[in-house]
Amino acid sequence: MTSQSLLDGLVASARPLAAQGKPADYIPALARSDPGAIGAAVMHVDASLVVCGDARVPFSLQSVSKALALPYVIDSLGEEEVFSRVGKEPTGDPFNSIIRLEASRLKRPYNPMINAGAMVVTSLMPGATVEEKLGAFSRYAAPLLGVARLDLDQEIRDSEAATANRNRSIAWFLRDLGLLGAEVELTLDAYFGQCALLVDAVGLAHYGAVLARDGLEPGSGRRLMSPRAARVTKGLMQSCGLYDGSGEFCVEAGLPAKSGVGGGILASARNRLGIGTYGPALDIRGNSLAGVHIIAGLSKGLDLFCL
């Protein structure tokens, strides 16, 4: 079991790292995040919880939503529908890179954890309108995060939409390749919406614990997602979850994880626990400096390394 002193010590030792990074300033609403905010939560599969710092401060899911959208579409439409349009390989490129779409002989996104692949997944979400897509997705994701409902931060959603020139370029390129399951603007509006849904570190830890048991709710054992969707998601988190920092993180922490530029990181240790962290001061790859430090420290301190 995770000791409070271990988590407290890791959060304290992560605080100086905030000065080495900064929030995602290319999205104006995220640029105002407090770079000194740091929180962490650990939920064991029996639902016991350890928290520290700003673990209950809400922030937007951003790319962590990709690790929820993927199993949702797999459980809704089947694995074959997803991976006929998106690959399963890491890229080594930044999360918003467009170059592989044109240069690769595959002519499809390498994986669902980069923006191009995630937009394809979002386009496949059931629903004829943005409201239908996001409503059904939120109903699927809320119990995974241990909450009754998910709220959308409209300011963040609008801020992303206003500064999304690269994502719009990617979406139109995906349409040209025939990979989208919905029109471009519908896909983009739903994608910006899923990224702007609010969560906290405790919610991420809850989802990590769900993944740790291949889709079973912590404590109750109620099935929330299919075992296959959980395993596919963890496999892609392991290889692709921290953008072009995934390989280094895998070496240091050895856990499947997914980060987002809102400052959150989700991680999972099989049959043991889930971890959620928050720290909006990011490194050059878009990963939370504090979150990477805390998760690597937990992996070492609790012998979680899974490889």
Catalytic machinery residues: 63, 66, 191, 243, 261
What span, in angstroms and rounded, lies between the C-alpha atoms of 206 and 216? 11
Q: What is the DSSP letter of 93?
A: S
CB atoms within 10 A of CB 285: 17
Tokens 């929820």 locate to 68
- 174 residue type, one letter: L
Letter string b/e over residues 121-134, b meaning 16 or more CB atoms within 10 A of that residue's CB: bbbbbeeeebeebb
Sign of CA dihedral 94, 266, 155, 30: negative
Q: Answer whether 237's CB lies under 8 Å from 274's CB.
A: no
* Strand partners of residue 59: 199
